[in-house]
Amino acid sequence: MIYIVEIPHQHKPFCWSAHDERDAISKMWQSARRKDNLLRYDALFAEWIKYNSIDLYSQYVFMDAASAIDGIKEIGGHGAVQAIAALYEELAANGELPEELDHDR
C-alpha cells in the first residue's frame, strides 16, 4: 500500500492510500481532471507525484506501510501534528498499524 500525506497551505492535512502506483495515478487523475493544466494519464508515477504537490505546502510519499511508520519522524513543520494523525488513521484503516509503535512523536 502506498501512503500519501498532503499538507495544504490553508486547509487541514490529510492522508490517502493506494494499492499501487497505477491506483495512485488513477486517484490523482480523478482528483485533478477539472484542472486546466492536467497531466497526461499515462505520465510516470514520479511525474504525477510532482504534479500532485504543486499547490501543497508539503507532501510525503511512502511506498509501503513500513516506510510510512518509519517516515512519521520525517513529518515536520506546518500542519505536522494533524498530518501525523491522518497518517496513523489511514494506516489503522488499512489494518497496517502495528500493535506496538515507537511513540517518539
- Look at residue 97 in the predicted model and tell me its pLDDT: 86
Where do the domains of the chain lie? 2-93
Query: pLDDT tens digits for 15-53?
Result: 999 999 999 999 999 988 777 778 888 999 999 999 999
Query: Residues 25, 48: contact at Cβ < 8 Å?
Result: yes
As a whole number of angstroms, the longest Cα–Cα distance in the chain is 45
Average pLDDT rounded to a whole number, residues 62-83 = 95
pTM over 0.75: yes
| Mean pLDDT score across all residues of the chain | 91
Phi, psi of 3 (to 5 degrees): -115, 130
> Cα(98)–Cα(101) distance, rounded to whole angstroms?
6
Helix 21-32 vs helix 45-52: angle between axes, to the nearest 10 degrees?
40
**Residue 103: pLDDT band with limits 50, 70, 90:** low
- Look at residue 60 in the predicted model and tell me its pLDDT: 98
